[in-house]
Structure 1
Amino acid sequence: MTARRSLPLLVALLFAAASLHADAADSAEAAALLKFKNMIADPEGKLGSWVAGTEPCGGDGKGKGEWNGVICDDGNLHGLQLENMGLSGMLNVSVGALRELPDLRTLSFKDNQFSGPMPEVKNFAGIRNIFLSNNKLSGEIPDDAFQGMGSLKKVDLSSNEFSGPIPTSLARVPKLLQLRLDDNNFSGTIPDLRQKGLNLLNVSRNELEGKIPDGLRNVKEAFFDGNKNLCGEAVGNPCATPTPTPPQEPTPPQQSPGEKSIPVLALMAVASGGTIVVVGAIVVAVKRRREDVEVLGQPMSSRNSKKYTSFPEEKLERGALVKYEGSASGRKTGMAAGGSDQGRLVFVKEGRERFELQDLLRSSAEVLGTGNFGCTYRASLLNGPSVVVKRSRDMNRTGREDFEEHMRRLGRLSHPNLLPLVAYYYRKEEKLLLHDYVPNRSLALMLHGNGGSNHPMMFDWPVRLKIVKGVARAMAYLYEELPMLGVPHGHLKSSNVLLGESLEPLLTDYALVPVTNQSHAAQFMVAYKSPERKQFGRTSKKSDVWSLGMLILEILTGKVPAHDTQQGKESADLVDWAISATREERAGQVLDSGMSRTGNAEGEMLKLLQIALACCEERVEKRWEIKEAVEKIEEITEGGGDHSSTASELEASSSKPAAADDFSSIAIN
């Protein structure tokens, strides 16, 4: 009887033990995910369903789990799909918490703000898919980063800031099917990827060089775009063969000073005191050295048409998806849709007088300047207006179709304080952007003079306030019309603010981050000089606000900011200087002496100074949004009338309780 009674009890105990084991397993999964959550930032609360005391794979245990972004199958957690949630943090640190999930097969953190180096993934032995695209990950990836990952099939690291060589351990991943490394800063050669199942490879818009492995000869040419020094059958660019060193020739006779060799463009410039013929300037600028291109406008010879099946390319930051057809026929389709072909100007501004490329080539041109983004010419058409032609070799971040779509988007913009894009000319290695010519030149020249003069042109407070307001309105418009861009302008500085006939500001070189090579943008664009870029390796929506604040400080002080080394003058850290002066109750001393101070003008100037400092706040979370900055700027007046407010009075008032419309929220550090 005792044995018979103990049997049900034993069965019950076994069932209880199994249940406890299952609960422990579930609790371990929840603990691992909660640990991961606590190590990252979730400002939008997208992981609000991750709550202690609940289970990730609750409910029926199939498909999506109870916790947002958790993928389950038969009650087991198989994947994390945390995409486009605004998450941030050091992924290389936080991802270690996920090693407690033995059944994890997919990790997707696409379209977030994660930063830091490549997370260590080789310890996830069973992982099959890794998607980290469109984050702020950076640095070199260890060569053995993918060592021993026998189950790995898909890897997407595109649109980050990785640098250094592509890890050769990827060549030893036996089941690799898809690999996307595009839009990074990878350098060196491409590993010899010989996986038979590999059906997608994209390494475009990096800094790769050397011979493309023979096993990749059938990869579409578009997936190698933007790597200027690659050669091989896949890109139709034969690799140079080593040639024997020729016998050393006798040293030629020394030239006299009057016989020095001068580049062709320089000879043209000297010929007429700085005026050259565009047929020389632009043909030399855009003419390809490839053997299959002999004159400007000739199409490239056809390439190997046997390519992989196309796949959706992510379009300009985080916009909609388009199909990029890399074959010759695909390119023709894109050109027809865009209204362009090789050798033609494409007009994107409606209602503008059209002219042909040959009209441009026959016109005379004046070199306006050479900057970090190429050379700028003023072309005077024989039977038409003058246009400005900007030539760039650093706009290879996207393929042709995406580039043309972005140019059409810019052509649709219309604001009184934006210099409109009129037309463009596309070649794989050269781009020309055409704008209207503005006679008054730039704000930088008005502020700092020309040629390093010690006597800059002075203009008074009403004009400067008018310029600030126009710039702010244009920035607000860009934010509204281009919400898909992380930094809608990206390169706001005084030399990119032109002045019209009535000294109204006209912004130029805006919205070019999506088409500009990442390495070039990081080195030269103003938004990439922001504090968050220096501290965390990434820009933000407020990087343009910081640029606006720096520009306002430059306008108020007449000083060149430290990040702008092109002005040819001693630069200053305007933010530290202005903050120091404000603390020491001498804020009025930072204002340019060339500004008028009638009536209450100085009080209004100092209010604008505080707005500028709020826009330049180092901590992104405390920096103003563009909308708030524009609203405060619009409240500033010229300060006319009999009621004056001196700098000392304004500074003295800073110790009094703040009124509702005071700038008490400005954090000055």
Structure 2
Amino acid sequence: MGSLHQFSKYLLLLTLFLLYNGSVAQYEEERDALYALKHMFDDPFVNGNWTGLQCYENSSFWDGIQCVNGRVTAIILESRGLSGTVSGDAFVSLSELITLSFKNNFLSGNIMNFSSNPKLKDIDLSRNMFNGPIPRSLLGLEFLQSLQLQDNQLTGPIPEFNQKSLTVFNVSNNKIICPNPGTNTLKSFSTASYSNKSPIVCDSSNSGAGSFSENETASSGDSKKKSVATILIVVDIIGLITVILLFIFYCNKSRKLEKLIERYRLEEKDDEILEMGGVSFNYKESKEESREENISHVHEEVSTFVAKEEGKGNLIFMGEDEASFDLNDLLRASAEGLGKGLFGNSYKAKLQGRPDVVVKRLRDMKPLSDNEFAKLIRIIADQKHPNLLPLLAYYCTNDEKLFLYRFAKNGNLFNRLHGGRGTRDRVPLRWNSRLANARGVARAVEYLHLNANFSKCLVPHGNLKLSNVLLDEDDTVLVSDYGLTSLVAVPVAAQRLVAFKSPEYQNSKRVSMKSDVWSFGCLLLELLTGRLSAHSAPPGINGVDICSWVHRAVREEWTAEIFDTEISVQKSAAPGMLKLLQVAIRCCEKVPEKRPEMTEIVREIDSIKAVDSDESEELSVDQSLTDESFSTNASTVLVVGDGRSW
């Protein structure tokens, strides 16, 4: 009996050993297959990113790779400019592969053999340079749901696809022979799925995807002959209408030309004053008169422009107690250029006997009616929170839109964090101040997300970055530029607003409240690291992809280099810095659903304590962040939650 028990024990150990060896072998085979792709692409970003472990449980550290239970399940490398010829057996080792997308690259050669990938559901190789026939190995994919091969150079007939699971199919803009669908599945797709780059080639020997009968050909010829006259008449009518429309368009353009030229001249004057405003504090007294003359000239231009509106608009104040001046008072006020923003220039207007205000000129707004615009502005103005910059008033006509805000005396958080680095005049931004700033921004965004009216917006803020975090005279945080997503068209928003730089918009062209959470995570990382983020860098200045940079730092365990030296010298602040870093990393998850809600974020930041002293506690970087013992903390940061990572 004892011998039998001992034998069973050995048998169990042997089984576990074989299973372990088998999983290791599979892992290594998948890694080698990905390395082969990496070598073929020879892309600088892929070369730098595809290092180390490709899978960790249900996460992947490699960009474009997704994993489940340590196995590669998806390869998504879209619009990367990748080139080369993918080997026909490139995916033989990836038996768990479900999704493959090389969309919009420059890959060439024959399409790969998928006979070893029975779980494939989604294949997108569109907009490349693949040639040769469509492989028949695709017919063996029982779970295939989407096959997109359009815009390549494929030739030959279409295989007899008959999978009931296939719901998306497109082989258009290739050189397919006889693209007539020949199976019930293929017949369920529209003709747009088969439109060709070259004339259809058919002969009686082609029995694959169906062919045209002689009767069909004759009938088609008769129909063409009968419709020649009708086509000519339609072409003549279309040509006449086109000429008329072009004439009308030309007339409209000529009437607006003078007005546009005048407006562009005004904008050039604005830019000149903005440039002077940026250096005016270094001017000597002898140059002040010239500066004032230019500012006065801008006001003359603005007054002339607004006067042409013939009194169509006036300042609309958002509160009864705010209506203490009118448009004429604003135009008579002296002004100072503050900067050129994403949607127009901003000025500081000095009103006599009243607090200074900021005038923001808005461009590229949606073509909204006055009532629609006023309704959206009212929703923005109704947001009342101690950490939100209130909208005082607005001015709206067809050609000019102004927003008025109260002036924040201590500037913005971007200049406070990055300004004066390396100079003697630089005042270090210590831990307590950064924690207070993070807490104020979090509370403001939480309010926007919980507000009934604002929560209906896809992205309640939409443009969260350091330059839109202002500091009042007592360093109170005032978040500005919220609600712009309701005023601008999506194509404009996609180019200019931070939320549209999020992973979900880059991958699937969608945004949500969690896009604000991602933006807030980027803001926290910039606040912790002191590094210039690509999302907040001014035009013409290159920043870093801060999420990827921090992720790499944590993964490679040189986390001590993450924190800005202005706070890393504060030894007692180390626990709080680590906790805030964990919050930031969770906010920057690639999958929106894995990011926390703003209410949870506020609660976690509120639990982080300030330090008793906000001064440097030692002359060197805190050793607790640099010695080998920090590797444990680095691992905690990386897998905070349930193994989440980028």
When the two structures are superposed, what TM-score results if normalisation uses the length of structure 2? 0.54
Distance 2:571 2:191 in 1: 69
Match of 2:632 among 642, 652, 655: 652
Match of 1:501 among 449, 473, 489: 473
Match of 1:526 among 498, 512, 532: 498
Give yes or no for contact 1:448–1:456 (8 Å, CA) kept in 2. no
Describe how 1:378-397 pairs up with structure 2 within 5 A: 378-397=348-367
Q: Aligned pair 1:629/2:593, yes or no? A: no
Q: Aligned pair 1:281/2:290, yes or no? A: no
Match of 2:521 among 549, 554, 570: 549
Match of 1:295 among 279, 293, 307: 307
SS in structure 1 of the partner of residue 366 of structure 2? coil
Residue 419 of structure 1 is matched in structure 2 by: 389
SS in structure 1 of the partner of residue 392 of structure 2? strand
SS in structure 1 of the partner of residue 435 of structure 2? helix
What root-mean-square deviation, in Å, do the aligned CA atoms of Structure 1 and Structure 2 show? 4.4
Alpha-carbon offset, residue 281 of structure 1? 3.2
Distance 1:557 1:240 in 2: 49
Distance 1:512 1:231 in 2: 33
After superposition, give the CA deviation of every residue in 1:165-202 in whole Å (9 maximum; x if it has no partner).
xxxxxxx9xxxxxxxxxxxxxxxxxx9999xxxxxxxx
- Quick one: structure 1 residues 397 and 544, their matched pair in 2 at CA, closer, same or farther if it must change by over 3 Å? farther
Distance 1:382 1:465 in 2: 37
Match of 2:544 among 572, 578, 585: 572
Unaligned runs of 5+ in 1: 1-38, 40-88, 100-119, 125-141, 143-171, 173-190, 195-209, 218-229, 242-261, 289-293, 300-341
Q: Aligned pair 1:462/2:468, yes or no? A: no
Q: Aligned pair 1:430/2:367, yes or no? A: no
Match of 1:479 among 449, 464, 468: 449
- Quick one: structure 1 residues 212 and 653, their matched pair in 2 at CA, closer, same or farther if it must change by over 3 Å? farther
Which stretch of the first structure deviates more once superposed, 646-655 or 551-560? 646-655
Alpha-carbon offset, residue 596 of structure 1? 6.1
- Quick one: structure 1 residues 537 and 454, their matched pair in 2 at CA, closer, same or farther if it must change by over 3 Å? farther
When the two structures are superposed, what TM-score results if normalisation uses the length of structure 1? 0.52
Alpha-carbon offset, residue 625 of structure 1? 2.5
Q: Aligned pair 1:604/2:576, yes or no? A: yes
Alpha-carbon offset, residue 439 of structure 1? 1.3
Alpha-carbon offset, residue 636 of structure 1? 1.5
Describe how 1:151-170 pairs up with structure 2 within 5 A: none
Distance 2:167 2:435 in 1: 53
Describe how 1:391-406 pairs up with structure 2 within 5 A: 391-406=361-376
Alpha-carbon offset, residue 629 of structure 1? 2.2
After superposition, give the CA deviation of every residue in 1:309-339 in whole Å (9 maximum; x if it has no partner).
xxxxxxxxxxxxxxxxxxxxxxxxxxxxxxx
SS in structure 2 of the partner of residue 365 of structure 1? strand
- Quick one: structure 1 residues 478 and 277, their matched pair in 2 at CA, closer, same or farther if it must change by over 3 Å? farther
Q: Match of 1:625, as an amino acid?
A: E
Distance 1:352 1:211 in 2: 53
Q: Rg larger in 1 or in 2?
A: 2
- Quick one: structure 1 residues 90 and 443, their matched pair in 2 at CA, closer, same or farther if it must change by over 3 Å? farther
Residue 443 of structure 1 is matched in structure 2 by: 413
Alpha-carbon offset, residue 628 of structure 1? 2.4
Distance 1:92 1:193 in 2: 39
- Quick one: structure 1 residues 192 and 429, their matched pair in 2 at CA, closer, same or farther if it must change by over 3 Å? farther
Residue 586 of structure 2 is matched in structure 1 by: 614
Give yes or no for contact 2:589–2:644 (8 Å, CA) kept in 1. yes
Give yes or no for contact 1:278–1:362 (8 Å, CA) kept in 2. no
- Quick one: structure 1 residues 264 and 389, their matched pair in 2 at CA, closer, same or farther if it must change by over 3 Å? closer
- Select the structure that is richer in helix: 2
Give yes or no for contact 2:408–2:472 (8 Å, CA) kept in 1. yes
Distance 2:342 2:147 in 1: 32
Residue 379 of structure 2 is matched in structure 1 by: 409
- Quick one: structure 1 residues 470 and 567, their matched pair in 2 at CA, closer, same or farther if it must change by over 3 Å? farther
Residue 364 of structure 1 is matched in structure 2 by: 334
Alpha-carbon offset, residue 520 of structure 1? 2.4
Alpha-carbon offset, residue 581 of structure 1? 1.9
Alpha-carbon offset, residue 415 of structure 1? 0.8
Alpha-carbon offset, residue 529 of structure 1? 1.1
Alpha-carbon offset, residue 550 of structure 1? 0.5
Distance 1:352 1:577 in 2: 46
Q: Match of 1:634, as an amino acid?
A: D
SS in structure 1 of the partner of residue 395 of structure 2? strand
After superposition, give the CA deviation of every residue in 1:532-580 in whole Å (9 maximum; x if it has no partner).
1112222222111111001001111111112233076552222122122
- Quick one: structure 1 residues 274 and 554, their matched pair in 2 at CA, closer, same or farther if it must change by over 3 Å? farther
After superposition, give the CA deviation of every residue in 1:263-282 in whole Å (9 maximum; x if it has no partner).
58747967646556777435
Residue 642 of structure 2 is matched in structure 1 by: 665
Q: Aligned pair 1:376/2:337, yes or no? A: no
Describe how 1:88-237 pairs up with structure 2 within 5 A: 97=167, 213=245
Distance 1:123 1:274 in 2: 62
- Quick one: structure 1 residues 480 and 280, their matched pair in 2 at CA, closer, same or farther if it must change by over 3 Å? farther
Give yes or no for contact 2:269–2:298 (8 Å, CA) kept in 1. no
SS in structure 1 of the partner of residue 543 of structure 2? coil
Distance 1:402 1:212 in 2: 33
Alpha-carbon offset, residue 352 of structure 1? 1.8
Give yes or no for contact 2:148–2:168 (8 Å, CA) kept in 1. no
Distance 1:519 1:376 in 2: 23
SS in structure 2 of the partner of residue 423 of structure 1? strand
Match of 1:516 among 488, 498, 501: 488
Distance 1:431 1:91 in 2: 45
Distance 1:657 1:385 in 2: 46
Give yes or no for contact 1:604–1:637 (8 Å, CA) kept in 2. yes
Distance 2:337 2:190 in 1: 52
Identity %: 34
After superposition, give the CA deviation of every residue in 1:237-269 in whole Å (9 maximum; x if it has no partner).
84779xxxxxxxxxxxxxxxxxxxx95874796
Distance 2:366 2:422 in 1: 34
Give yes or no for contact 2:446–2:602 (8 Å, CA) kept in 1. yes
SS in structure 1 of the partner of residue 567 of structure 2? coil
- Quick one: structure 1 residues 404 and 422, their matched pair in 2 at CA, closer, same or farther if it must change by over 3 Å? same
- Quick one: structure 1 residues 192 and 278, their matched pair in 2 at CA, closer, same or farther if it must change by over 3 Å? farther
- Quick one: structure 1 residues 267 and 527, their matched pair in 2 at CA, closer, same or farther if it must change by over 3 Å? closer
SS in structure 2 of the partner of residue 466 of structure 1? helix
Q: Match of 1:477, as an amino acid?
A: Y
Distance 1:451 1:286 in 2: 40
Distance 1:401 1:193 in 2: 38
Distance 1:390 1:495 in 2: 14
- Quick one: structure 1 residues 97 and 599, their matched pair in 2 at CA, closer, same or farther if it must change by over 3 Å? closer
SS in structure 2 of the partner of residue 633 of structure 1? helix
